[in-house]
Structure 1
């Protein structure tokens, strides 16, 4: 059984936002909702600016899943942390306990990027692009893509290879090297994230990531 995650090499990331744009396009989320954001953190002493993605960390021990009264949060086929929007009651308890500030709630009533307007290239929305207002939303690790052997949209869009999809259960030799170097953010939260980071000029483990 696979257990997917992403290794983010902060030393390579240039903050181009290609991954965040690809994510927005892939999921067609409403204006103001972002499953992934690019954060910027300066290391003044080293004269370095660190750019990196902030998103759901797809934790092995997710705090959100424990408190959801509707049991709407569950694990996907490869350990992804997913939300069943049909079950979600919009209580926002998951947002209150998530140490990464991940769950988002669209209160505008616009349920996808185009709202009631049809895009110029008219097409039907895919199931993962249909959202319900007021329900919890966050990165799904593109489970609709990985289940078909494809990379998440963000990983595919990264032209400099700053992100790598890894399988913690069955890593290749290359994946093993990355996993050995990568660290989880906000380790003290104890949720065991599967999105991990490589950084030379940043104390990753103590950084309190917030989306």
Structure 2
């Protein structure tokens, strides 16, 4: 059984926000909620600007599921993390636990009245019958049941955002990295903290110079 995952290639993302627009259009996402958003670091710094598309990553060990007091979150056979809005009480614990800020309160009314949580569904709908009106009104379109991938990934013009079987997605990204001439140094503490792979290494030994006669 395929395990669905997202990955965004920061070397390809051009901050066009087509993934954000596709998600909103496909699911008629409520006002004030962005199930997907593009985050840019070092914005405007030449040569250092990087963008990445962020949404629910459908974690294998999802913290939102761990903290929910009413157990409204569940995982499908494909590994997609969904939630039941009929059970959700809108406590917001999941929004604090999620490192990606995926679960969000809809901002209803002039004062942003809170309600049921909303999040990315990997275009997999909800607990209602596949393709039903009730499912669409609560969770949006169920593209997985139609044999399609998430709209955000399909609309990505540079194919920076990949969504689908985790093994296939990982192979695609791995091949891209190798073609760029990078290997194991791409991952690890040095990359995470911006350090050179050779940082902290001892300086090269200098051969002793012979005495002048």
The TM-score, its normalising length taken from structure 1, stands at 0.68
Q: Which has the higher helix share?
A: 2
Higher RCO, 1 vs 2 (CA within 8 Å, ≥6 residues apart): 1
* TM-aligned CA deviation for residue 67 of structure 1: 1.5
Is the Cα–Cα contact under 8 Å of residues 36 and 54 in structure 1 kept in the other structure?
Answer: yes
SS in 2 for 1:161: coil
Equivalent of 1:135 in 95, 116, 129: 116
Q: Which runs of 5+ in 2 are unaligned?
A: 125-141, 178-185, 195-213
Partner of 2:150: 152
Partners in 2 of 1:179 and 1:61 — Cα distance?
Answer: 23
Aligned Cα RMSD in Å? 2.9
Please tell me whether Structure 1 or Structure 2 has the larger radius of gyration of its CA atoms: 2
Deviations 1:83-119 (CA, angstroms, capped at 9, x unpaired): 1101101111111222222210114159xxxxxxxxx
TM-score (norm 2): 0.67
Q: Which moved more, 1:35-44 or 1:4-13?
A: 35-44
Relative to structure 1, the CA distance from residue 175 to residue 101 in structure 2 (aligned partners, 3 Å threshold; closer, same or farther) is: closer
Q: Is the 8 A contact 1:7 1:166 kept in 2?
A: no
Unaligned runs of 5+ in 1: 111-132, 183-198
The runs of at least 4 consecutive aligned structure 1 residues that moved more than 4 Å come to: 43-46, 179-182, 203-207
Bigger share in strand: 1
In structure 1, the partner of 2:128 is none
